[in-house]
Structure 1
Amino acid sequence: MSYVANARMYSVNPAAASAWKELFAWLAHASGVNLRAIDHAFPAPLAELWSRPDLGCGFMCGFPYTLMKHPPRPVAAPVPLGSPVPGKPVYATRLVVKTESAFRSLEDTFGGRVGYTVEDSHSGYNALRHHLLRYRHQRGGDLYSESIGPLTTPLRVIDAVLAGDIDVGPLDSYALDLMQRHDPNLVARIRVVATTDAAPIPFLVASRECPDDVVVALQVALIKFGGVAACAGLRERLCLQGFAPVVIAEYDLILRWDAEARAAGYAYPG
């Protein structure tokens, strides 16, 4: 049987998308799995990708994963070169503003407009809400005049910041690393004013119907990827140290952050 692979979440521009397709081609050869990369670009729903019975590798955020009654099978988690905890499969959310804006801190943006990606995103929604919760406690109410979304993708968050539709927006730190590597001119137009606490990063998943031997073959190959000398250039283009096993219990942190916000009556970031 053939399986499909997709890195929609981290195909932040054509160069990054090309590098991911190269990785999946390497993975097919290294694992012996009949794996082919497919496109699944915005506005196609990610949920459609995650529900495919022939999914062999696709990125999934830990937030929707932990909320699913019957989630797909974990394969491996990326370890970014710029990980907030060196050598660990974690990431954070960078809160960004337009470079030429007068904002010098996150607090300077209060009273303006904040953007978010989608409600089941950790980096673009849950982590942002968790970071803002402390300020809401201090100030006793809303921080922003408007909460704008869903913006869905990191690039659309940047577009909204640059267009002046929002004053501050959330970016997945690993997605931003890839943008800085492949589109530095775009990234030069935004500036980071705050960073959230680190959390477990989105990971590659396979369909629930994917056989054990296929999943294991993909896992073994991906864990070896970080040490393959011939892949050094590809790792650099993907801003990756390598891949690590997925420890599902660590993603409980995401649910705790969600529960804390809900207990405070805090729905949308704002």
Structure 2
Amino acid sequence: MIRAVASLGMYDHPAQQRANDLLWAAIARALREEGGDGIPDTLDRTRDVHALWRDPGLLFGQACGYPLVSEPDLDLRILALPVYAVAGRDGPTHRSVIVCRSDDPRGSLAAFHRSCAAVNDPRSNTGMNLLRATIARDALPAPFFDTIVRTGSHRESVIAVGTARADIAAIDEVTHAALARFEPDLVARLRIIASSPDSPTLPFVTAATTSDDMVRKLRTALGRAIADPALADVRATLFLTGVVPADADALTPIVARETAAVGAGHAALA
């Protein structure tokens, strides 16, 4: 029998981990009340999110949208898109903020031609795909950057730019908001020089083999957790204000951003 697992590893800053634990506890409790069996008690933080996404026992998780549309072996079912209280948003979209060092004299994205970019992961929508979408939107030359530094996370990209290992990076605005709240000294070293086009937020997902009945239970349980007044502080810590039920079609804008960038010659950043 496949063991069910749960993960909320995409926005899980140490200062947010207790909130994520409480959010999952509420979802798990609601699932059990709906008659769900084998519901995991705790979130799995022992493995990389890419490994968890490929676990056939993934009951509940959150995934980056770009791998979902670009990696054929990644077979997940979308439950909902979250809504985050950042930059005045009231729907299930977000974007990347493009940052440089606060003392860098360059005043526009165009001025960073032939510079060094920090990228958290070449499979990242916010760190890579939306960065090249912004470059394409602004009709900048290709390839735009001279070199790329792969950092492994948005936080490490922020550090790379702040310590002059790179000149520029695209940071998920939800992560940027968390760093500004919980590690303001890191963000104080930077300034925002541009924002990317909008994109769907990171979807809540389950394994493709999850039954229709369990999908219904998961959406109900998630909705209950989002509406529970007792979890207001939990949601505020996560910047989470709502969810919108969704399926794979919700990620079409991510494909459109990629298609436009590749068509403009920006298949690669450097």
Q: Determine helix, strand or coil for the equivalent of 2:227.
A: coil
Tell me the residue number matched to 1:31. Answer: 31
Matched, 1:10 2:11: yes
Aligned pairs (5 A) from 1:177-256: 177-256=177-256
59, 74, 79: which one pairs with 2:78?
74
Cα deviation for residue 103 of structure 1 reads 3.2
C-alpha RMSD of matched pairs (Å):
2.1
Cα deviation for residue 98 of structure 1 reads 1.8
Letter in 2 for 1:93: S
Cα deviation for residue 26 of structure 1 reads 1.4
Q: Distance in 1 between matches of 2:76 and 2:260?
A: 26
Tell me the residue number matched to 2:165. Answer: 165
106, 109, 118: which one pairs with 1:115?
118
Gap change, CA 1:126 and 1:141, over 3 Å in 2: closer
Q: Deviations over 1:77-109 (max 9, x none)?
A: 21101156x321111011011223323332333
Aligned pairs (5 A) from 1:42-121: 44=48, 46-69=49-72, 71-82=75-86, 86-121=89-124
Q: Determine helix, strand or coil for the equivalent of 2:10.
A: helix
Gap change, CA 1:90 and 1:208, over 3 Å in 2: same
Letter in 1 for 2:55: R
Matched, 1:153 2:156: no
Q: Distance in 1 between matches of 2:204 and 2:43?
A: 13
Cα deviation for residue 166 of structure 1 reads 0.7
Cα deviation for residue 38 of structure 1 reads 1.1
Letter in 2 for 1:38: D
Moved more, 184-193 or 99-108: 99-108
Q: Determine helix, strand or coil for the equivalent of 2:98.
A: strand
Contact 1:157–1:169 (8 Å) recurs in 2: yes
Contact 1:94–1:196 (8 Å) recurs in 2: yes
Gap change, CA 1:207 and 1:83, over 3 Å in 2: farther
Structure 1 regions of 5+ residues with no counterpart?
Answer: none
Report percent identity of matched pairs: 25
Q: Distance in 2 between matches of 1:133 and 1:115?
A: 18
Gap change, CA 1:68 and 1:141, over 3 Å in 2: closer
Q: TM-score, normalised by structure 1?
A: 0.88
Cα deviation for residue 58 of structure 1 reads 1.4
Give the count of matched residue pairs: 262
Contact 2:159–2:186 (8 Å) recurs in 1: no
Q: Distance in 2 between matches of 1:247 and 1:204?
A: 10
Contact 2:77–2:248 (8 Å) recurs in 1: no
Letter in 2 for 1:233: D
Contact 1:40–1:49 (8 Å) recurs in 2: no
Cα deviation for residue 189 of structure 1 reads 2.2
Contact 1:115–1:166 (8 Å) recurs in 2: yes
Q: Deviations over 1:96-146 (max 9, x none)?
A: 1122332333233333212222222111111100110144x45x4443332
Q: Distance in 1 between matches of 2:177 and 2:30?
A: 26
Contact 1:83–1:89 (8 Å) recurs in 2: no
Q: Determine helix, strand or coil for the equivalent of 1:226.
A: helix
Cα deviation for residue 2 of structure 1 reads 5.4
Letter in 1 for 2:100: V
